A and B are shown apart, each in its own frame.
Chain A
Amino acid sequence: MTSPPTSHVNMAAGLSSEDFTNLQLLLKAPSKDAVRDVCVQSYRAPSRRLAESTAATFSIPAAEAAQLIQSLHTLSHHILFYNLTSPEQILAVFPESFHSNLKNLITKILLENSSAWRTEALSHQVSLPQLKELDWRVDLVTGSDSVSRMALPTCLVQLKIEDPCPSAGGESISTVTVELSRESLDTILDGLGRIRDQLSVVAGK
């Protein structure tokens, strides 16, 4: 007996010949739409529910359906990892002997979805906490406990920062508020201007 599909590992695990054998189960699909559905849904972490519904649609045992889904999952993540974006690149992944029409259909479905998968993967990278929101308000301070009459502009800046993996018990979104004088604002602008200059250097390459 083969071991059950392992837990979802979001890596380009190597495609094996066994995977392509499993993919031939797609020939049992009642329609092209059924193939499309299972291809798209198996991109996410393979679930028991998907295996059961696929088994029912394809009239195959649930264990076979689970293997099919795992292999489709491996295939779509392989396409994503290597950024295969042309039909020729994807077709080349299949063995020579693979059912020709099925190969074309799978390739077409993968191509339909690959750019959306890539966009999604890029926005869910491991990263430092990310800036989610920036709010600001400019005030004119007209008096204080030390000076009764003054006219000093200041700027309140509030940053909302989201940490995708907060430390135990911590909130994922935290807020930082700073008060900036005209001088510190100029210092920041100076720094940001340098980043912009560097960016245009990188873009110009």
Chain B
Amino acid sequence: MLSIGQLVDMQWKLGMAVSSDTCRSLNSPFVSLLLKIVEPSGQICQRAFEMTIPQFQNFHRQFKEMAAVMETV
């Protein structure tokens, strides 16, 4: 069946930023995600991005909502 782009893999990493050129001591956690998507043409594209913890929590909440809605249709 026709589809826009299929997610085939999701890799993740939870990291802790320790230090940078501006702040010696950071200690701020972050989440990186790598999505592997197969486009309709068959080409595989990979997209990586980073989220802060509040962003991740919102991301997680959104996906839970999607799942809840899908259960009802």
- Report yes or no: B4 in contact with A11, Cβ–Cβ below 8 A: no
From known contacts A127-B50, A178-B5, A184-B7, infer whether A189 and B23 are also in contact, taking CB-CB under 8 Å: no
- Report yes or no: A131 in contact with B66, Cβ–Cβ below 8 A: no
Chain A residue nearest to B60 (CB atoms) is A192
- Report yes or no: B35 in contact with A185, Cβ–Cβ below 8 A: no
From known contacts A131-B49, A131-B51, infer whether A188 and B1 are also in contact, taking CB-CB under 8 Å: no
Question: Which of B24, B35, B62 meets A178, CB within 8 Å?
Answer: B35
Q: How far is the CB of A43 from chain B (nearest CB, A)?
A: 11
Q: Does A191 have its Cβ within 8 Å of any Cβ on chain B?
A: yes
- Report yes or no: A185 in contact with B67, Cβ–Cβ below 8 A: yes
Kindly list chain B residues whose C-beta atoms are within 8 Å of the C-beta of A97. none
- Report yes or no: B70 in contact with A136, Cβ–Cβ below 8 A: no
- Report yes or no: B35 in contact with A184, Cβ–Cβ below 8 A: no
B1-23, CB < 8 A from A: 1-7, 10, 12, 14, 16-17, 20-23
Question: Which of B2, B35, B49, B56 meets A144, CB within 8 Å?
Answer: B2
- What string of 1s and 0s marks CB contacts (under 8 Å) between B24-56 and chain A? 111011111001010000000101111101011
**Docked complex Cα distance between A125 and B28 (Å):** 11
Q: How far is the CB of B47 from chain A (nearest CB, A)?
A: 5
Q: How many residues of A are counted as interface, with CB atoms below 8 angstroms from the partner's CB atoms?
A: 56
From known contacts A130-B49, A131-B51, A195-B56, infer whether A202 and B14 are also in contact, taking CB-CB under 8 Å: yes
Kindly list chain A residues whose C-beta atoms are within 8 Å of the C-beta of B3. 154, 179
Chain B residue nearest to A138 (CB atoms) is B69
Chain A residue nearest to B11 (CB atoms) is A191
Q: How many residues of B are counted as interface, with CB atoms below 8 angstroms from the partner's CB atoms?
A: 47
Kindly list chain B residues whose C-beta atoms are within 8 Å of the C-beta of A180. 7, 66
**Docked complex Cα distance between A185 and B43 (Å):** 21
26 A-B pairs whose Cβ atoms sit less than 8 Å apart in the complex: A11-B22, A12-B24, A122-B28, A125-B17, A128-B32, A128-B49, A129-B47, A130-B50, A131-B50, A131-B51, A131-B59, A144-B2, A145-B2, A147-B1, A155-B70, A156-B4, A157-B66, A176-B47, A179-B3, A179-B4, A180-B66, A185-B63, A194-B12, A195-B31, A198-B14, A199-B53
Q: Which residues of A contact B (CB under 8 A)?
A: 10-12, 77, 80-83, 118, 121-122, 125-131, 134, 136, 138, 140-141, 144-147, 153-157, 159, 161, 174, 176-180, 182, 184-189, 191-196, 198-199, 202
